[in-house]
């Protein structure tokens, strides 16, 4: 927004309102916010998975004693209708 002045920004905002209509703007903002929450939760889950992979690599290989429950990724916090189980990749001992 380098060379825009205040009145130019207001003209652009006015054109956006005329183009999309005032009724659609709240829905668009809501869907944008929901998408941002989904992206944030997925990024947190990926970071957590990376940390748990590091810990699992350092831990002993005896995992048969602990039953593993399937993990679930949620699309948005509190949104259980779109959650799904996640399949874990099978890791074999190489070495």
Give the model confidence (pLDDT) of 36-75 as tens digits: 999 999 999 998 888 777 666 665 555 555 666 666 665 6
Instruction: Enter the pTM of the model.
Output: 0.39
Chain mean pLDDT for the chain? 74
Q: Give the pLDDT confidence score for residue 39 in this predicted structure.
A: 94
State both tokens at 4.
Answer: 């825009």
pLDDT tops 60 at residue 10: yes
What is the four-CA torsion angle of 22, 25, 30, 33, rounded to 10 degrees?
-150
pLDDT digits (tens, 9 = 90+) for 73-83: 656 665 656 65
State the average pLDDT over residues 2-31.
84
* Domain layout of the chain by residue ranges: 22-55
């Amino acid at each position: 927004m380098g060379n825009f002045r205040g009145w130019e920004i207001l003209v652009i905002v006015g054109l956006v309102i005329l183009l999309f209509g005032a009724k659609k703007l709240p829905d668009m903002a809501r869907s944008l916010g929901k998408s941002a929450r989904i992206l944030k939760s997925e990024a947190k889950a990926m970071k957590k998975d990376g940390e748990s992979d590091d810990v699992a690599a350092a831990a002993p290989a005896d995992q048969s004693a602990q039953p593993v429950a399937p993990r679930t990724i949620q699309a948005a916090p509190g949104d259980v209708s779109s959650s799904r189980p996640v399949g874990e990749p099978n890791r074999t001992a190489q070495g």
